Structure 1
Amino acid sequence: MSGPITIRNLTAQPLTIKVVERYEAPNPKDLPEGEQRRGSLTSFTKSFANMTTNLVSNVTGGDSQAPTKAQLSEKAQSFARQDVDVRMEPFTTHKTDIQTTERKPDEILRLTVHGDGPGKWRIDTPTPSAGSHKLTPLVPDPAHEYTGVYNASNSFLAIVESTDQHNWMKEFGDDTPLSALSIPGTHNSPTYHKALPSVRCQAVSPLEQLKNGVRFFDIRVQPGNPQDPKDDSLNLVHGVFPISLTGSKKFRGLLDEILDFLKENPSETLIMSLKREGPGDATDQQLSLILKDLYTDDAKWYTEPRVPKLGEVRGRIVLLRRFALADRLKQEWGGRGWCLNAENWAYNTPDCTYGDVRVQDFCEVLETENIDKKIQLCCDHFERAGQVVCPIPGVTTDSVNPVPTGPLYINFLSASNFWKVGCWPDKIAAKLNPAVAAFLCEKHDVGDKGVDAPGEMVEGDGGVGIVVTDWVGKDGDWDLIKTIVAMNSRLLLRQRGRGWR
């Protein structure tokens, strides 16, 4: 018999385990032909298989091989059934006394979970398919949808709320500062084309990223003709290289896709980080004037040098500048400048506050052994972001004691070494993304409490800030992006007036 199951409720609703059932493992022959064994696991399964007590030292990134579990049929008969009453408040972790197995190591444990209302769901562990798995609703039209992520290595189940990834921001109040939200982002967002391996950072197009919840784009451009003030051509680049081997790609085309998406999804916003890179003699100042005079307008862009509230920027692009301003633009907004300021944070930094941002951007992973250090720095920055408290009018802030709306916490999961194959963006992401996903589900915002003191959490809203990723969406795997969005649940709970404190 194995040990008891530990469950973490990462949703904004109380959940109660009401029924525990046990089943013999289905015969593998019951699987459809061709699916009796999967060649590889998705990032969540890899992450949990690699994760033990010491997260960082045990992340190896190896390609685990494991059979896919046969799913129980609707007519399956349990050999044991027990009524229980294990209540799990939002954002609490419970080390239960429910043993994962009783007779054989491959049996199936089924949990039936009730909400405070009419909602009822079930989940089988181990889950029948690799990666995250949706809980099965047992009542028609449930008010919530939940997803479970199971780590068989330490019998840990995390339950998160499923969201509409294409318009997840609609759930949050207009008074929500962007700095309070957990926002998935991508690094060098348009670099999904055929390119040099160290140049390509993304598996899918920016439009697919938007549809699946990404709300921060990191974009690098080089003016095509900076001497002509009427020439709006901006080439998309990564360092000194174009982002595609098949011809230059233009910023204007990418921008049109973004604006079309925001028009169709007016509840959403996109934070766009823009930086000048690439060959040529253009200056930051020239780039700033091209953007100001030929691209931005108040209806589609937010350019005030102040962290905005969500209601101010729905349907618009928030411009975060990583470039210096021309003198004329320094006089914008009553002399406060133009756009959110991220002009010059420290290079290769584990933690730097500059302008409107606080950033982790340790990027020089020169050897594969340094990936572990990068993972730890990412997790450290998650914990800093988790301490942020969203100002809610009448609850946490007033005119006398305002809570600041910034800075934006930005956490780059990206890193690379051009000269080492094992440190190209896709290789690092294959190790780092699953480790981060596992940390967020199991470790983030627990501190010294959690299992040892259920219901007693560290201070803050438990968010993670802006998380800038590489190679998400590969083979349809969006688990990391979904998990980042799920980290907004405690903030959502407070905004719904149910109060955490």
Structure 2
Amino acid sequence: MANLAVRSLTVRNLTVHPLELVAVERFEGARVQRGGLLGNLTGAITGLLNATEFPGRETHPSGDATHSAAVAVTVGPFCAAETDVRPADPGREVLRLTFRSDDRRYTADVPSPSSRSAVMAKLDDGPRDLTAVYVPAAALLAVFSSAQLDAWMRELHDDWPLSLLSIPGTHNSPTCYTALPSVRCQAVGVPEQLRNGIRFLDVRLSANPDDDTLALVHSAFPISLTGTKYFADMLQDLYRFLDDNPGEALIMSLKREGTGKGTDGQMGKYLERGYVDKRRDRWWTEPSIPTLGQARGKIVVVRRFALDDDMRDACWDGRGWGIDAQQWPDNCEDGTGGNGRFRIQDFYEVSESQNIDKKIHYSHGQLERAAEQAFALAGMPDHRPDAETPPFFVNFLSASNFFNASCWPERIAAKVNPAVIEYLCVCHGEEGRGPQKLKIGSAGTGIVVTDWVGANDNWDLVRCIVGMNARLQLNN
């Protein structure tokens, strides 16, 4: 995928609008200390323990441009164009690129100061919010329309099946607290995840007989060493977010774990009567995949537990409660679950750090399979009224090994997440560029379930996933 012999910059436009690169300026790069000495020392220690990058220094353009040139490179929507521009010398130079879109100009420094994504500056108050993600190994700049993460679903047509969207998610979503190694999977809490684009939540609950109080757990362990955390409190965060952003939809995968002695059936009844029925307006419990319009303002239940017969028979004309994902293949590269409603990559038994390459390969393959799916709305050329709703493609980037510190969640994420960002920017949705050379359909990513996004405010992976929804706007 990466080409170490690349000698010129490539621009990939992943928006619905044509872009034209019109000017290039080259600056010497100056390394600037970020934060104070104490803050940098604390951050470096945190980064060492958590295997997440701490950007103690940033590269900024220094002085006047050493070279300036007018250029004319047009890049159509969802196209890539190789330029004659030499990439910046890493750590020594910064390129300032000026683009034009609908007679408005936008600029981005490449690489951005912290080598992460940057929202392009608007030189003349343009209407678009564009994100630039630079991949040094491929000398490629990907441009996304994913700057506004708090309410990204509002741009999409109501009639799209929820399963066709590119949806960022988190694995063991509420596990952001101080906890045992391999239990903590997230850098930040659920409210911050939602504000930054996460729309799929993976939640594990412990249930006890005759008590509808549900505790948040990860496997057999509590998610915090400083006191039990409860499902009810997390729901209040979700309700507040949906009250503020009624055009968004959340998907919640629910599974019973922990040391509680309650059964799946008891937990299902607790969920329905003790939680969902109190805010029926905020839940989708029908056992079918909704459209985005049907799901807006709601939490869509994906049920990874069994129902008692009486509850199943009493709900939705005997069809059950929630989207049935009780059947869930274990430790798989590409398994089928939920009676065909789910295609799942969840290879998680990584025994050695070298096996992370296998995990990355499986993740890329699942992204390609998701991109192959196609669906056309009424009025589009390929529309078929009898077309089946595509399944959810669920792609877990998470894996761990409790007994090997190099395979704890944050250390795996430190390798897997950047590899997936690079794949999305360089290859995803490009015919013949995936590992299996599959055809490209709607070019979505499916649900991509991550660990440790948002560490040090790095949301690049989420921006790349959300940005892939732009193709669905072409025919809105």
Q: What is the TM-score of this pair, normalised by structure 2? A: 0.89
Change (3 A) 1:34 1:277: closer
Match of 1:6 among 10, 15, 20: 10
Query: Bigger CA drift: 408-417 or 91-100?
Result: 91-100
The question of whether the paired residues in 2 share the 8 Å contact of 1:221 and 1:277 is answered with yes
Structure 2 counterparts to residues 4-403 of structure 1, below 5 A: 4-23=8-27, 25=28, 68-72=58-62, 76-81=64-69, 83-100=70-87, 106-115=92-101, 117-140=102-125, 142-224=126-208, 226=209, 228=210, 231-297=211-277, 298-331=280-313, 332-355=315-338, 356-395=341-380, 401-403=385-387
Taking the aligned partners of 1:482 and 1:79, their CA distance within structure 2 comes to: 31
Taking the aligned partners of 1:348 and 1:77, their CA distance within structure 2 comes to: 53
Change (3 A) 1:65 1:266: closer
Match of 1:423 among 399, 407, 432: 407
Matched letter for residue 311 of structure 1: G
**Cα deviation code 1:275-300 (max 9, x no counterpart):** 00011322111111212222223312
Taking the aligned partners of 2:276 and 2:54, their CA distance within structure 1 comes to: 48
Q: Are 1:491 and 2:475 an aligned pair?
A: no
Change (3 A) 1:160 1:40: farther
The question of whether the paired residues in 2 share the 8 Å contact of 1:222 and 1:278 is answered with yes
Shift of 1:426: 1.1
Shift of 1:494: 2.6
Secondary structure of 1:113's counterpart equals strand
Determine which structure has greater relative contact order: mean sequence separation of CA pairs < 8 Å that are 6+ residues apart, divided by chain length.
1
Secondary structure of 2:441's counterpart equals coil
Matched letter for residue 441 of structure 1: C
RMSD: 2.8
Shift of 1:350: 0.7
Change (3 A) 1:126 1:192: closer
Change (3 A) 1:27 1:414: closer
Matched letter for residue 334 of structure 2: D
Shift of 1:122: 1.9
The question of whether the paired residues in 1 share the 8 Å contact of 2:129 and 2:148 is answered with no
In the other structure, the counterpart of 2:398 is 414
Secondary structure of 1:68's counterpart equals strand
Change (3 A) 1:27 1:194: closer
In the other structure, the counterpart of 2:430 is 446
Tell me, which stretches of 5 or more residues in structure 1 are unaligned? 43-60, 451-456, 496-501
Taking the aligned partners of 1:235 and 1:63, their CA distance within structure 2 comes to: 32
The question of whether the paired residues in 1 share the 8 Å contact of 2:55 and 2:114 is answered with no
| Bigger share in strand | 2
**Cα deviation code 1:68-113 (max 9, x no counterpart):** 322356xx345342x33211111112222223369x9944433221
Matched letter for residue 471 of structure 2: R
**Cα deviation code 1:347-366 (max 9, x no counterpart):** 10111122221111111111
Secondary structure of 1:195's counterpart equals coil
Change (3 A) 1:396 1:126: same
Shift of 1:387: 1.4
In the other structure, the counterpart of 1:471 is 452
The question of whether the paired residues in 2 share the 8 Å contact of 1:2 and 1:99 is answered with no
Taking the aligned partners of 2:113 and 2:43, their CA distance within structure 1 comes to: 12
Secondary structure of 2:61's counterpart equals coil
In the other structure, the counterpart of 1:57 is none
The question of whether the paired residues in 2 share the 8 Å contact of 1:41 and 1:131 is answered with no
Secondary structure of 1:299's counterpart equals helix
Taking the aligned partners of 2:439 and 2:105, their CA distance within structure 1 comes to: 29
Secondary structure of 1:460's counterpart equals coil
The question of whether the paired residues in 2 share the 8 Å contact of 1:269 and 1:313 is answered with yes
Taking the aligned partners of 1:294 and 1:101, their CA distance within structure 2 comes to: 58
Tell me, which stretches of 5 or more residues in structure 2 are unaligned? 45-50
The question of whether the paired residues in 2 share the 8 Å contact of 1:391 and 1:404 is answered with no
4+ residue runs of structure 1 moved beyond 4 angstroms?
30-35, 38-42, 61-67
Change (3 A) 1:493 1:163: farther
Taking the aligned partners of 2:33 and 2:351, their CA distance within structure 1 comes to: 44
Taking the aligned partners of 1:32 and 1:343, their CA distance within structure 2 comes to: 48
Match of 2:462 among 475, 478, 481: 481
Secondary structure of 2:368's counterpart equals helix
In the other structure, the counterpart of 2:48 is none
The question of whether the paired residues in 2 share the 8 Å contact of 1:397 and 1:403 is answered with no
Change (3 A) 1:362 1:195: same
Percent of residue pairs identical:
44
The question of whether the paired residues in 1 share the 8 Å contact of 2:25 and 2:65 is answered with no
**Cα deviation code 1:43-85 (max 9, x no counterpart):** xxxxxxxxxxxxxxxxxx8979996322356xx345342x332
Shift of 1:153: 3.5
Shift of 1:324: 0.8
